[in-house]
A and B are shown apart, each in its own frame.
Chain A
Amino acid sequence: SAVISQKPSRDICQRGTSLTIQCQVDSQVTMMFWYRQQPGQSLTLIATANQGSEATYESGFVIDKFPISRPNLTFSTLTVSNMSPEDSSIYLCSVEDIGGSDTQYFGPGTRLTVL
């Protein structure tokens, strides 16, 4: 299974600012996924990031608010723009297992609090 790291692990930000979250994988993967987990809730997929192409966003999420970069096969960033307190959540990146086993592995998450 892939080993995934995220930076920062947590942050407290002011309303109106932006935060970029990094996700690093120890092996090359085709697809990377970004999820949001609001307090006490399940996971909601924000977007799917494929290297070399625009990210695909789920309903309710837009590129202007959550721009994503995927410059290579081991790295991706998610930016949370113009933050409001409603953006306070855990943001998780995940990758699907190499070889198409359908299994997704998750990073440790970034805990964001917006004041």
Chain B
Amino acid sequence: ETGVTQTPRHLVMGMTNKKSLKCEQHLGHNAMYWYKQSAKKPLELMFVYNFKEQTENNSVPSRFSPECPNSSHLFLHLHTLQPEDSALYLCASSQDSRINYGYTFGSGTRLTVV
């Protein structure tokens, strides 16, 4: 593990289900990120939190809802997803989103929507 832990590692859900992805880091970082990695497409930034405040929402559909209760934890709540939402969801952290290096990524949650 890299210091950023994501659970679950794999998730299969129906389009009407509600589920949550969890990300946890104890690196003392203050910024946390959600990225989506789809097959054949570049990694896409979804959300950024810096010191628990959301600083970026990259035009993500409302069926994805992030939550950052503290600097160590980040959640992605999922509801009424579509099959095209199937992807690898990566969480990352860094000291501060205004600092331009030092990203640590988790191993990801492989999501399949059926």
**A and B physically associate:** no
B residues contacting A by CB (< 8 A) are none
A residues contacting B by CB (< 8 A) are none
